[in-house]
Amino acid sequence: MSASNRRAKLDRDHADLSVRRQCALLGLARSGVDREPRPANDNALEAMRRIDALFTARPFFGARRIARTLREEGFPIDRKRVRRLMRLMGIAALGPKPRTTKPASGHKIYPYLRRDLTIERPNQVWAADITYIPIGRGFLYLVAVIDWASRAVLSWRLSNTMDASFSAWRRWRKRWPGMANRRSSTPTRAANSPARHSPAC
């Protein structure tokens, strides 16, 4: 039996049983019996419409940013309610998610070549990094080649597919053939990174 049904069985004018005893028999908390019920919140649909409009315009906003923006617009709402309504609507912010460094199934594990190496001069060790930047219609991949000692960016490229990013990496290696035998950090692709072919920009 639900708490509301048990609460409805209370008889405050009972001749023999006090309200405290009835609460004990019904398994109700005495402190919650006399509390005035909170009025029903009937602006859920309006809140969901506002959240949907804001999320459509800025799909990278999470519950915190949406709640703050709505409060600035004069709509009183807190983060927990925004999060609950977003789950009810089936929407979530577009952006990096946990476990992005987990390698894909069958991914080649490269040896760590800098374990016993002392990096003491520029152009001794270089590294490559690939990340993605959310935009209105998908993602752009950013690949950068970095000198490990000076942290200088030797080359970079933005593209809308992972294939184009790796093609830029391969072209850079052909352009600098003397770097082919250098120790390097090899970029990896996470198993749950965005789709391999993002929508065209």
Average of per-residue pLDDT values in the chain:
76
Tokens representing 18 are 């006090």
Task: Give tens-digit pLDDT for 176-200.
Answer: 555 444 444 444 333 334 444 433 3
pLDDT of residue 169: 61
* Beta strands, E only, the chain: 125-135, 138-147, 153-159, 183-185
- Give the tens place of pLDDT for each residue, 5-18: 888 888 888 888 88
Kindly report which listed range (33-37, 63-67, 119-123, 138-142) carries the lowest average pLDDT score. 33-37
Least confident of 88-92, 117-121, 151-155, 193-197: 193-197
Residue 89: both structure tokens together: 């609507």
Decide if 29 contacts 36 (C-beta within 8 A): no
Q: In 3-state terms, what secondary structure has residue 197? A: strand
Q: What does pTM read for this prediction?
A: 0.37
Residue 160 phi, psi (nearest 5): -100, 10
pLDDT at 39: 61
How far is residue 130's CA from residue 141's CA, in Å, rounded to a whole number? 7
Could you tell me which of 147, 154, 138, 141 has the C-alpha nearest to residue 201? 138
Record the tokens describing residue 37, joined without a space. 């019920």
Q: Which amino acid is at 194?
A: P
pLDDT at 167 over 50: yes
Higher pLDDT, 72 or 175: 72
Task: Specify the DSSP class assigned to residue 62.
Answer: -
